[in-house]
Amino acid sequence: MIVIEGARLLDARRSQKADLLIDGGRIVEVGVLSDAQRASADERIDGRGRLVIPGFVNTHTHAAMVLFRGLTDDVPLMEWLEQKIWPVEKHLAASHVLAGTRLAALEMISSGTTTFQDMYFQPEAAAQAVASLGMRAVISRVFFDLFTPQTPAALKEDIRGTITRLRQYPNVKPSIGPHAPYTVSLPGLAAVAELAEEEDLLIHFHIAETEREMLDFAAKHGERLVPALDRVGLLSPRLTAAHGIFLEDDDAALLGARGVTILHCPASNMKLGSGWSQTGHPRALPYRRLTGAGVRVALGTDGAASNNNLDMWEAMKLAALLQKHATGDSATLTAHEAFAMATLHGAEALGLEAGLIEPGRRADLVLIDLERPYFYPGHDLVADLVYAGRPDCVETVLVEGKVVLRGGRHPEARAIYAGAREASRDLMRQAGIPLDPPA
């Protein structure tokens, strides 16, 4: 049992000053606690001068790609994938993914993220990394059935085996990870939709990231992408779809009607130039078009190979600024909306009983030190968090009511850094990429 005393509490719905009682991994009481409750706690955390918020939920990552951070930059998406990333990924082993995901998890915990959704190779190694740091994750094994064709039945059986193994790890929820419309067949996506229903799973997918993707799909299939996905049964509340830049009004209406969540990744979209259009008018996520149609929009960083960090503070700020810049309307995506996207909307998208500070919710919480110059003078705390906040204000992180970060430092950090550096260098050697000696 943990008591947090005298903190200011802030979530997407309310702000108050109160004590917190945490037991069994959940928030039990919010308010003024009795002396008996305080005395019975196994740990009492002084919350004075601290802010407690729900942990950030990073809804779109390829965590182990931290090993590729800085490997290749300043190139467009398909060149980045086809010429730079995929040739190296051919050499990935479980040991690389384990070391990379441990580094990614440490980076996320240290900046206040308590849950992430991952799509990558060697998912059991990723789950092992998550369990070792006490984090929470939704994990899928990415697949590309246009490159390695399988019958729908064989594909389903293969994925089912991975799901069974992932369910053995604490705090890990399996999902299904078809990569994208240009790497996965429509029959494969139909099989995914069926399997998701059979196994009660989320689907993690890329959609409408570039104009080329949309034009190529229409030319190949003779129909537009979103209606085609609906025809094969992929559009449902189970679908969490990253990017969504090139979505039109009818797409948004169909996504909203089916309960799909779009995962906005502003940093990687801008860095990869994904909003380029043949019309000469750059595109950004059509946020108001989507939310106006009832589509939930959550927030992600994407992988550190295309961002180059896993910082949800930066993602919140960029999401808000990009919409203002793209629309000319400074109220298009407010600080309060960005904060909700990073916390509550992400928790809802992933089916987590978290995202708010209220009794019954999972105790995935972050204590922030408000004694930072960028939080002063303090006119609007939410605006300060979104537009001025930085990871260095994160002091304590709890996942499932257990402290996984204390004092802003993790005891395994040095070992995790060394392991990731060695794993990255080993991977680059195998891929034939020369690297300078470490400093």
pLDDT band at 439 (very low <50, low <70, confident <90, very high): low
Q: CB–CB of 115/352 below 8 Å? A: yes
Task: Collapse the DSSP code of 417 into the 3-class scheme (helix H, G, I; strand E, B; otherwise coil) and give the result.
Answer: helix
User: Which pLDDT belongs to residue 438?
Assistant: 58
pTM above 0.75, yes or no: yes
Task: Collapse the DSSP code of 410 into the 3-class scheme (helix H, G, I; strand E, B; otherwise coil) and give the result.
Answer: coil
Counting residues of the chain whose pLDDT is more than 70, the rounded percentage is 99
CA distance 209 to 265: 10
User: Which pLDDT belongs to residue 224?
Assistant: 98
Higher pLDDT among residues 432 and 259, named by residue = 259
The token pair at 93 is 């082993």
pLDDT band at 58 (very low <50, low <70, confident <90, very high): very high
pLDDT, averaged across the chain: 96
Strands in 144-277 per DSSP E = 172-178, 202-207, 239-243, 261-264
DSSP letters for 324-349: HHHHS-TTSS-HHHHHHIIIIIHHHH
Q: CB–CB of 192/235 below 8 Å? A: no
Beta-bridge partners for 45: 4
CA distance 366 to 385: 13
Q: CB–CB of 44/38 below 8 Å? A: yes
- The string of pLDDT tens digits covering residues 220-256 is 999 999 999 999 999 999 999 999 999 999 999 999 9
